[in-house]
Amino acid sequence: MRASTALFTASAATVVAAQSASTYYTATGAADVAAAAATALTLSPTSNVKGKAFDRIAIIWLENTDYTLASGDPNLSWLAEKGIKLTNNFAVTHPSEPNYAAAIGGDYFGMNNDAFNFIDKNVSTVIDLLEEKGISWGEYQEDQPYSGFEGFAWVNQKTGANDYVRKHNPAVLYDDNTINFERLAKIKNLTMFQQDLENDTLPQWMFITPNMTSDGHDTSVTVAGAWTRKFVEPLLNDKRFMKNTLVLITFDENSTYSLKNKIVGILLGDAVPQKLVNTTDNHFYNHYSSIATVEANWGLSTLGRWDVGANVYDWVSKYTGDELRDYSASAMAKHWYNQSYDGVFNSAPHYPVYPKPNLCLERHGRKVQENIKKTWRGSKNPTYYLDTIEVNDHSNPPFRYGFN
Ligand SMILES: *[C@@H]1O[C@H](CO)[C@@H](O)[C@H](O)[C@H]1NC(C)=O
Ligand SMILES: *[C@@H]1O[C@H](CO)[C@@H](O)[C@H](O)[C@H]1NC(C)=O
Ligand SMILES: *[C@@H]1O[C@H](CO)[C@@H](O)[C@H](O)[C@H]1NC(C)=O
Ligand SMILES: *[C@@H]1O[C@H](CO)[C@@H](O)[C@H](O)[C@H]1NC(C)=O
Ligand SMILES: *[C@@H]1O[C@H](CO)[C@@H](O)[C@H](O)[C@H]1NC(C)=O
Ligand SMILES: *[C@@H]1O[C@H](CO)[C@@H](O)[C@H](O)[C@H]1NC(C)=O
Ligand SMILES: *[C@@H]1O[C@H](CO)[C@@H](O)[C@H](O)[C@H]1NC(C)=O
Ligand SMILES: *[C@@H]1O[C@H](CO)[C@@H](O)[C@H](O)[C@H]1NC(C)=O
């Protein structure tokens, strides 16, 4: 039996943040894990809230592969031919964890590390927006030892190999989720995915993270591509899964830090119009696009962060009426998205302040969630969010969040 403390790398931000953390299920000793697993709650609530373009979304994230390499993988190509390939899709920074944080929270709050980070409970995520509309959600993290586990990592108990890692689990990074036992109960493993599939109790929004072998992190894009095809192919004809469902297969980041952070994105599923199968979409998208698309599809409130301005996937926008924007060539020439701007979770924060959501933003009738307004209205913290797709990066930091 092995714990995973060797992977732990403390940082100043970690220590500060941990004081406000929800740490009920963080123990990684084998005995602690076994005891917690015996009593931890698992929930699989369902709902059927109609969306404008799709009724369900499954988001699958793979690891660290450059666009060109992922495009060449035969199994990912096979999947891409079943749907729409995004040819201008970007990660928001390096390394992994801030990208996963961004995928549901609309920012990475300066994070430039894979540390044991806890994002303050006053920061909301897409989960708050979904719950407001009664839309069921769940995460499926391969080899997470039990539902709601908050620990830093869980290694394969026979081989000691990297297996489940917290840094690839977006919901668990936010205290807003982990202070809530009902939410922890929906942060499940892939065994529970199979069970929910069998029981016909899959939620309408799901985030799926394969383990460190399956997602290519410790292996290669060949392994990640084969795993993904093996997982997705049987679902393509499964009526319990394909119920006007959109599947997004993408990567957290490109692997060459010195280059722009472009990544493969594939949209498929029975929600995708037949005439768009085996096509490409070259609009600009990034991790915030999947939040914007979900907001537009179900007419949700917004987070008032980078989610607001992000492009909604083109085919979905045809149903929601959202206008897509082009990234200007001059801005693209100086944005790399290969390093984080400053903020609370930077390993050497110069300005460790949570930016306030921009409470005035409105996009196609979608306003910032009332509860978020209530939390942040009186805050004197600065905001940097604008209604734009040209979001900041390290070389073009928000005012006060630069390094100099
Ligand atoms: C998955 O989670 C369930 C529920 O907590 C747990 O009983 C089961 O052992 C876990 N499976 C694996 C493979 O860790
Ligand atoms: C990850 O999951 C795959 C099955 O999807 C399994 O073959 C592999 O051994 C797991 N990795 C570890 C480190 O346990
Ligand atoms: C779901 O499936 C599992 C395993 O097949 C079973 O034990 C459980 O009772 C089922 N739950 C529901 C709500 O049907
Ligand atoms: C992945 O692609 C290769 C080459 O086409 C093929 O041999 C293999 O069976 C595929 N894997 C899966 C899981 O379908
Ligand atoms: C990001 O990319 C730019 C342009 O290639 C490069 O100058 C810079 O060093 C890169 N940053 C990192 C952290 O690799
Ligand atoms: C990483 O993404 C950039 C585009 O932003 C691309 O030019 C580069 O080729 C990618 N890396 C590789 C090796 O594919
Ligand atoms: C997808 O399109 C390409 C070229 O446009 C074609 O070669 C390929 O056979 C198509 N794949 C499918 C599954 O239709
Ligand atoms: C949210 O929490 C952070 C960290 O505790 C704090 O700095 C910030 O002022 C809080 N914001 C609000 C609106 O409470």
3-state secondary structure 323-378: CCCCCCHHHHHHCCCCCCCCCCCCCCCCCCCCCCCCCCCEECCEEECHHHHHHHCC
pLDDT at position 160, please?
96
> How far does residue 264's CA lie from ligand 6's centre (Å)?
10
The pocket around ligand 7, CB under 6 angstroms, is made up of: 81, 278
Confirm or reject: Cβ of 120 under 6 Å from ligand 8.
Answer: yes
Q: How far apart are the first and last CA of the chain?
A: 46
DSSP category for residue 171: G
pLDDT by residue (tens digit) across 169-219?
A: 999 999 999 999 999 999 999 999 999 999 999 999 999 999 999 998 988
Average pLDDT of 304-324? 98
Tokens matching residue 138: 């769940």
Half-sphere exposure (Cβ direction) of 155: Cα atoms closer than 13 Å: 17
pLDDT at position 23, please?
86
pLDDT by residue (tens digit) across 78-130?
A: 999 999 999 999 999 999 999 999 999 999 999 999 999 999 999 999 999 99
Q: Using pLDDT thresholds of 50, 70 and 90, give the confidence band for residue 9.
A: very low
Give, for ligand 3, the residue of 191, 194, 199 to mutate: max count of ligand atoms closer than 8 Å to Cβ. 199
Q: Are 249 and 228 in contact (CB under 8 A)?
A: yes
Q: Which of 57-71, 125-139, 304-318, 346-360 has the lowest mean pLDDT?
A: 57-71
Give, for ligand 2, the residue of 4, 75, 140, 143 to mutate: max count of ligand atoms closer than 8 Å to Cβ. 143
Residue with tokens 């303050």: 120
Percent of the chain at pLDDT > 70 equals 94
Residue whose CA lies nearest to ligand 7 atom number 5: 278
pLDDT at position 20, please?
34
The rounded distance, in Å, linking the Cα atoms of 250 and 143 is 20
What is the residue-averaged pLDDT of the chain?
92
The DSSP H or E segment spanning 300 is none
DSSP category for residue 198: H
pLDDT by residue (tens digit) across 43-87?
A: 999 999 999 999 999 999 998 877 778 888 999 999 999 999 999
pLDDT at position 252, please?
86
pLDDT by residue (tens digit) across 269-283?
A: 999 999 999 999 999
Query: pTM score, two decimals?
Result: 0.92
Residue 212: phi, psi to the nearest 5?
Answer: -70, -20
pLDDT at 135 over 50: yes
Confirm or reject: Cβ of 67 under 6 Å from ligand 6.
Answer: yes
DSSP alpha helix (H) spans, 118-273 = 126-132, 175-178, 181-184, 190-198, 221-232
Pairwise pLDDT comparison (1 vs 83), residue with the higher score = 83
Half-sphere exposure (Cβ direction) of 256: Cα atoms closer than 13 Å: 10
> How far does residue 277's CA lie from ligand 7's centre (Å)?
9
Residue whose CA lies nearest to ligand 4 atom number 9: 226
pLDDT at 28 over 90: yes
The rounded distance, in Å, linking the Cα atoms of 80 and 279 is 8
Cis status, amide bond into 203, omega within 30 of 0: no
Using alpha carbons, select from 165, 203, 212 the residue that is nearest to residue 62: 212
Q: At what angle do helices 287-298 and 96-105 cross, to 10 degrees?
A: 20
Confirm or reject: Cβ of 234 under 6 Å from ligand 4.
Answer: no
DSSP string, 135-152: --EEEEETT-SSTT---S
Q: Using pLDDT thresholds of 50, 70 and 90, give the confidence band for residue 258.
A: low
Average pLDDT of 236-264? 89
Half-sphere exposure (Cβ direction) of 190: Cα atoms closer than 13 Å: 17
Give, for ligand 5, the residue of 258, 334, 394 to mutate: max count of ligand atoms closer than 8 Å to Cβ. 258
Residue 340: phi, psi to the nearest 5?
Answer: -85, 145
Tokens matching residue 372: 């978020």
pLDDT at 7 over 70: no
CATH numbers and ranges of domains, the chain: 12-376 (3.40.720)
Q: Are 62 and 251 in contact (CB under 8 A)?
A: yes
The SS3 of residue 89 is strand
The rounded distance, in Å, linking the Cα atoms of 317 and 314 is 5
Confirm or reject: Cβ of 200 under 6 Å from ligand 3.
Answer: no
pLDDT at 14 over 80: no
pLDDT at position 22, please?
76
Confirm or reject: Cβ of 161 under 6 Å from ligand 2.
Answer: yes
DSSP count for the chain of H helices, then E strands: 14, 13
> How far does residue 202's CA lie from ligand 4's centre (Å)?
27
Q: Are 376 and 394 in contact (CB under 8 A)?
A: no
Geometric angle at alpha carbon 22, from 17 and 27, rounded to 5°:
100
